[in-house]
């Protein structure tokens, strides 16, 4: 297939697929807890896959803002980690084929990139595109991870409840892709996992697990999550241990739990808003916890 947009190369011939799902897992602007990265790496490591097409990052990436790593040894450069933005053909645990778009979010030419992806969607007969995201929220790690779901058609959302009403957010390629697909009559939805903002800078596999479970629930794909579940337990145990060793941190978590539970009971209009109670705000609690955990990490080093 010849790319009319000049942005990607196809590896051989495009496969003939039967109405596949496309999972979009680009990283760049926001990936709290590295949940998107963890989810896509887990899929590629545990499921049979092959590259269908690769995008020309020399046209799409600002290398000065996200410099790829190089290894220097003694008196020479040994290697360069070449960034890759690729579309993969993947088989789930039951042999159902789907597509997985992975790599860095483009910095440049967003509309051309979206037009190219849409052309591939049409050529491959994609029935629905699902985007993965992870955002830092004022939520305690002691409560189940939750998600914000959104879609071009509310019928795609199932029983997911809205966490937010009207809010202005910075755009991303993934969210703009969903919006443009909706404008052109394609089915698209997305899930944004809520990661405790005091843990947003560390790996949070519980969020990655929920993202994949959400995709499975909405598409019927059989996606593996056992490894992520095990990793999530290890992270939870370690965070609990650090907090248990500090009385002030324990009080902060308890207060954050109270605010979170009050929100679920409907006593707050927004998870990020202040309350009428004498409790400190969720932002203040999260900032203090983030400081505490950073100090613990520094001490261990």
Q: Report pLDDT for 5.
A: 76
Residues 6+ apart with CB under 8 A from 237: none
pLDDT of amino acid 272? 44
pLDDT of residue 259: 84
Q: Are 190 and 150 in contact, with CB atoms under 8 Å apart?
A: yes
Among residues 38, 18, 13, which one has the least CA distance to residue 210?
Answer: 38
Spatial distance between the Cα atoms of 186 and 258, rounded to a whole number of angstroms: 41
Cα torsion for 154, 157, 162, 166, to the nearest 10°?
-40
- Provide the mean pLDDT of the chain: 88
pLDDT in the model for residue 293: 60
Cβ 189 vs Cβ 174: under 8 Å: no
What residues does 24 pair with on adjacent strands? 101, 131
pLDDT tens column, 132-166: 999 998 889 999 999 999 999 989 988 776 666 77
The reported pLDDT for the residue numbered 275 is 43
pLDDT by residue (tens digit) across 42-63? 999 999 999 999 999 999 999 9
For residue 163, the model assigns a pLDDT of 63
Residues in the chain, pLDDT under 50: 267-280
pLDDT in tens, 271-301: 444 444 444 455 655 565 566 566 655 555 5
């Amino acid at each position: 297939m010849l790319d009319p947009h000049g942005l990607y190369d196809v590896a051989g011939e495009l496969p003939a697929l039967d109405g596949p799902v496309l999972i979009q897992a680009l990283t760049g602007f926001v990936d709290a807890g590295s949940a998107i990265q963890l989810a896509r790496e887990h899929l590629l490591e545990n499921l049979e896959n092959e590259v269908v097409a690769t995008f020309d990052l020399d046209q799409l990436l600002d290398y000065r803002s996200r410099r790829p790593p190089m290894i220097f040894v003694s008196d020479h450069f040994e290697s360069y980690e070449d960034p890759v933005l690729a579309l993969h053909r993947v088989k789930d645990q039951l042999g159902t084929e789907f597509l997985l778009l992975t790599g860095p979010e483009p910095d440049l030419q967003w509309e051309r990139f979206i037009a190219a992806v849409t052309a591939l969607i049409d050529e491959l007969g994609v029935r629905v595109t699902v985007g993965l995201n992870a955002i830092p929220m004022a939520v305690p790690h002691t409560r189940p991870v939750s998600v914000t779901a959104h879609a071009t058609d509310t019928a795609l959302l199932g029983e997911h409840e809205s966490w937010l009403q009207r809010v202005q957010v910075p755009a991303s390629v993934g969210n703009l892709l969903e919006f443009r697909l909706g404008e052109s009559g394609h089915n698209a939805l997305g899930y944004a996992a809520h990661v405790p903002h005091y843990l947003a800078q560390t790996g949070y596999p519980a969020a990655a697990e929920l993202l994949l479970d959400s995709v499975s629930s909405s598409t019927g794909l059989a996606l593996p999550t056992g490894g992520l579940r095990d990793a999530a337990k290890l992270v939870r145990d370690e965070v609990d241990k650090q907090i248990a060793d500090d009385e002030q941190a324990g009080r902060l978590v308890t207060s954050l739990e109270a605010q979170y539970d009050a929100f679920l009971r409907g006593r707050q209009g927004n998870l990020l808003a202040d309350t009428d109670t004498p409790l400190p705000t969720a932002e203040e609690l999260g900032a203090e916890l983030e400081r505490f955990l950073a100090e613990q990490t520094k001490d261990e080093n």
